[in-house]
Structure formats: C-alpha cells, structure tokens
Amino acid sequence: MISQSNFGPTAESINAALDAANPHKRRQIEQRFSDSYVSIKAAIERGVTRKEILAILASQGLKMCSAKFKKLMANEASHRGETQAQEVNP
C-alpha cells in the first residue's frame, strides 16, 4: 500500500487551511461596515455628524476618510435597494 503522504497534502488539510484563511483587509472593512449600516444610518437620522461617526468607527477599527465613508454608504444603500443614502452632516 502506498502512503498518502507521498502524494502531498490531503483534501482535509487543504480545506482546513482555506477555512482558516482571512479575507483581504478591504473586504473585512466592507463586511463590518455592512453589518453596522443600520446603526450608522440611525445615527445619521438622529443628527450625529459625519466627523463623530468617523471617530466612532475609527475607535472600533474601521478607520476611513470621509470619501470612503460616502462610497461605502452609497454602495450599501444600493445593495439594499434603497433609493439614496441620507446625506450626513460634516
């Protein structure tokens, strides 16, 4: 009988390595932003400024510039089928 180790990694070890791999940092940021979108939108509706929202996001590991924030808001609104993301006070 031939040892399986002679043929390289097993499917199980390949699958385990793929399952343990982390997504690209950009994708992680996009996913975390998406997960928080409802709360972000609620904060905007309550009149929280963009500057304060960006500071809160940065304190939670989601540091971004205002332009990136606007882009993520627009992308998420579009993805959710919303007509337009509400404008945030500077």
For 29-50, what is each residue's pLDDT tens digit?
Answer: 899 999 999 999 999 999 999 9
How many CB atoms lie under 10 A from the CB of residue 53? 19
- Sign of the Cα pseudo-torsion (15, 20, 25, 29, in order): positive
Overall pTM surpassing 0.85 (yes/no): no
Which residue segment(s) compose the domain that 21 sits in? 9-79
Contact 22, 63 (CB under 8 A): no
Q: In this model, does residue 67 exceed pLDDT 50?
A: yes
The answer to whether residue 36 sits within a structural domain is yes
Quote the CA–CA distance of 59 and 88 in Å, as a whole number. Answer: 19
The answer to whether residue 48 sits within a structural domain is yes
The answer to whether residue 19 sits within a structural domain is yes
Residue 85, pLDDT score = 52
- Average pLDDT over every residue of 48-56: 96
The answer to whether residue 85 sits within a structural domain is no
* Residue 85 phi, psi (nearest 5): -75, 140
The answer to whether residue 1 sits within a structural domain is no
